[in-house]
Amino acid sequence: MAAPAQNLRINGDRLWDSLMEMAKIGPGVAGGNNRQTLTDEDAEGRALFQTWCEEAGCSMGLDQMGNMFARREGTDPEALPVYVGSHLDTQPTGGKYDGVLGVLGGLEVIRTLNDLGIKTKHPIVATNWTNEEGTRYAPAMLSSGVFAGMHTQDWAYDREDAEGKKFGDELKRIGWRGDEEVGARKMHAFFELHIEQGPILEAEGKDIGVVTHGQGLSWTQITVTGKDAHTGSTPMPMRKNAGLAMARILEKVDEIAWSHAPHAVGAAGHIDVFPNSRNVIPGKAVFTVDFRSPELEVITDMENRLRVAAEDIVNEMGLEIAFEKVGGFDPVKFDETCVSAVRNAAERLGYSHTDIISGAGHDACWINRVAPTAMVMCPCVDGLSHNEAEEISKDWAAAGADVLFHAVVETAEIVG
Ligand code: HGY
Ligand code: MN
Ligand code: MN
């Protein structure tokens, strides 16, 4: 396939302006974003994205999980489209670029093709996947997971947030539940641009990460049950302290992850104690253990060792424990042809680049199961993400979008 000419570049100013415009929707309290999935702010961000796509001449599609598809026609309407996108939903203390760069980078590919009057054989579809973050509704990458056949739509619709609101009801409430069957769309390929969310590219002075693999993820929600009691008048030997048991288990999580250094990681980001009153010994603790590794057998080992250690801790303390797997996916190897398109694009454009394994999960990890898929990464400042201080440079954004443009357009086959 003919590659785009080396001098073809996206419009970095326009991309940056769009990022800053989108960042005004669902602002955080410290310069980032709180645009959680299926909130009114999510709906507002979707509407802005749709307006921009329609202004770029795209026809819009919406499926029953709220996944958004903005299609730019190709010269061969029968040719399977090249999809390009990510997610607009953010963490509660999220940054302005996690996910958003990939959605607006996809739109920028279309805008640039329009500017240059370039036709491609395959249509190109800019995409926004619903609920990538998995914060309000576990698991992460929920809707790309339904699209890839990893979850049923009914199961997804029944997922509840902390207030007991169901996913399907909230999707309908915000007015973004479409009619299209989820997963009916077939893809020629899928590309996702994303910030690295880690320190490697910046530390190595590389503009571009050529993502060859994604590490696997395991989320286990643990419920420890003890007994509410007075923190003052209850003698220490009589206590059934679920909070203490959780603390001891979380020490084990850290120890187990370190035992598989340097690549495995482990922590708990979701932690609730009940009744969470200053003078009540916690009778219940609910928390989610997040283990990750590029190797499936390491993930399995960490899960098994944690279960044994946690059961020993609660048995010794006379408490109860329950485990529920609430998310997970195996390590991913992306499509070599698509990965080469990304690497060759970086080379052609003169951007420094290195192969990298994604530490974070992405919609591309599920879409890779149903279509040839690859990712492009750009650095982020101090490797920081899932923090309102998340920051990238305009040049990094433009470089990532340039490489995305070249990989997508080469795969979509320029016609004229
Ligand atoms: O959890 C993840 O890796 C992604 O940011 N949702
Ligand atoms: Mn993301
Ligand atoms: Mn994220």
State pLDDT tens for residues 262-276: 999 999 999 999 999
The predicted model scores a pTM of 0.95
The pLDDT value given to residue 7: 87
Atom of ligand 1 nearest to the CA of 385: 5
Q: How confident is the model at residue 1 (pLDDT cuts 50, 70, 90)?
A: low
The pLDDT value given to residue 197: 98
b or e along 347-381 (b: 16 or more beta carbons within 10 Å of the residue's beta carbon)?
Answer: bbbebebbebbbbbbbbbbbbbbbbbbbbbbbbbb
Q: How confident is the model at residue 2 (pLDDT cuts 50, 70, 90)?
A: confident
The answer, yes or no, to whether any atom of ligand 1 lies below 6 A from the CB of 138, is no
Tell the residue nearest (CA) to atom 6 of ligand 1: 133
Indicate the top mutation candidate among 88, 137, 141 to test ligand 1's pocket, ranked by most ligand atoms within 8 A of CB. Answer: 141
Cβ atoms 11, 108 nearer than 8 A: yes
Neighbours of ion ligand 2 (CB under 5 A): 98-99
Atom of ligand 1 nearest to the CA of 141: 6
The pLDDT value given to residue 349: 97
Residue 117: CB atoms within 10 Å? 7
Q: What is the mean pLDDT of residues 246-268?
A: 97
Residue % of the chain over a pLDDT of 90: 98
The DSSP element (H or E) to which 270 belongs, if any, is strand 265-274
Q: Is it the case that residue 113 has pLDDT exceeding 90?
A: yes
State pLDDT tens for residues 202-244: 999 999 999 999 999 999 999 999 999 999 999 999 999 999 9
The pLDDT value given to residue 329: 94
- How far is it between the farthest Cα atoms of the chain? 81
The pLDDT value given to residue 6: 81
Q: What is the DSSP string of 193-231?
A: EEE--SSHHHHHT-SEEEEEEE-EEEEEEEEEE---EET
Atom of ligand 1 nearest to the CA of 292: 3
Q: Is 196 exposed, middle or buried (0-12, 13-18, 19+ CB in 10 A)?
A: buried
The answer, yes or no, to whether any atom of ligand 1 lies below 6 A from the CB of 99, is no
| Mean residue pLDDT across the chain | 97
The answer, yes or no, to whether any atom of ligand 1 lies below 6 A from the CB of 195, is no
Cβ atoms 16, 397 nearer than 8 A: yes
Indicate the top mutation candidate among 133, 357, 365 to test ligand 1's pocket, ranked by most ligand atoms within 8 A of CB. Answer: 133
Neighbours of ion ligand 3 (CB under 5 A): 98
Gap from CA of 131 to ligand 2 centroid (Å)? 10
Looking at the CA of 360, name the nearest ligand.
1
The pLDDT value given to residue 49: 99
The pLDDT value given to residue 3: 78
